[in-house]
A = this chain, B = another copy of it.
Amino acid sequence: MKRRSVTSHEVARLAGVSQSAVSRCFSPHASISAETREKVLAAARQLGYRPNTIARSLITRSSRTVAVVVSQLDNPFYALTLARASRAFQSEGYHLLLFLVSDDGDTTGVMSEILQSQAEGILMLAASLTTPFAQECVARSIPVVMINRTVDFTGVSQVSSDNYHGGYWAGSYLAGQGHRRMAFLNGLASSSTGAHRRQGFLDALAAQGLECWAEENGEYRFDKAREATRRLFVQPPYPDAVFAANDHMAVAVIETLRAELGLRVPEDVSVIGFDDTPIAAWPSYRLTTIRQPLEDMVAAAAELLLEQMREERLSPVQRILPVVPILRGSVQQRY
């Protein structure tokens, strides 16, 4: 629908001043006398005038907009991350353009739209970026910060938690507690986070002379994780521990073990997750997990992006924040 809105010209005419006076009136530190200011504001109020952000962006060449690309919004961890990020950027006067992509990529269409949208920065939440697009962003000097996803390209900044050491901790903790048949439940094959957690886990086991007993993929989804659990427990000997690549799947494992296999956690099977989402603390699960410092990650990512949007040249950095193991009740020592 095309509607004609009130313009600064109309306000100017009503106030009996020039159009530029109106413009100055709505610019932060422009010099204008209190008197004309009053006249202009009165006229503006009367007409219901608001400056047109689009016209302003065109001339100032700054949209004060950042694009957020997110996949897995159904994962509470990312929903929370988005909420935090939104707050961070809103408070700095930036608007968020939201783009949802499916897990398995196909960001090309979306990325192309983002580039056209004149966003000044791009925040990637658990979404991947193809190298050509990363290059194009760099060429246009549009800063990109990825949270929890890695790209094989040095031009973009990355913030993630120490997935490798998180996985490593899980492996050595389970081994130290006497487990011998540890299974790993991975997330998406395409996700670097899962790959790093897995590698840490395997390395920790290897350091103890152990091997991973079984491996499955749950795509970070509840239902898929349940199916994977069934495959993991088709016949004895069962795994005596499962390390899931995130809490969401870990809970699915517990639910399935209890409801379908008649197995107890942690008496029969130990379970470890990753993230420390609120649900991990619920009495029913008391999930031992590895906390990602969500607040810090978002803060770091927002700060990085803000900083790079201000600067002339981008200097991408890679920041890995430490994880912290949270011991609850889903792991039991074996003898």
Contacts and interface: CB of A to CB of B under 8 A. Distances in A.
Nearest to A81: B73
A132 to B, nearest CB: 11
A332 interface: no
Interface string A302-317: 0000001111100000
A30 interface: no
B255 A283 contact: yes
A259 B283 contact: yes
A83 interface: yes
B116 A100 contact: no
Interface residues of A, number: 65
A295 to B, nearest CB: 14
Contacts of A283: 255-256, 258-260
B118 A48 contact: no
B140 A3 contact: yes
Interface string A201-245: 000000000000000000000100000000000000000000000
A303 to B, nearest CB: 16
17 contacts: A1-B312, A3-B61, A52-B116, A53-B118, A54-B54, A54-B118, A55-B58, A73-B83, A73-B86, A74-B76, A74-B83, A86-B99, A90-B110, A96-B99, A97-B97, A251-B282, A259-B284
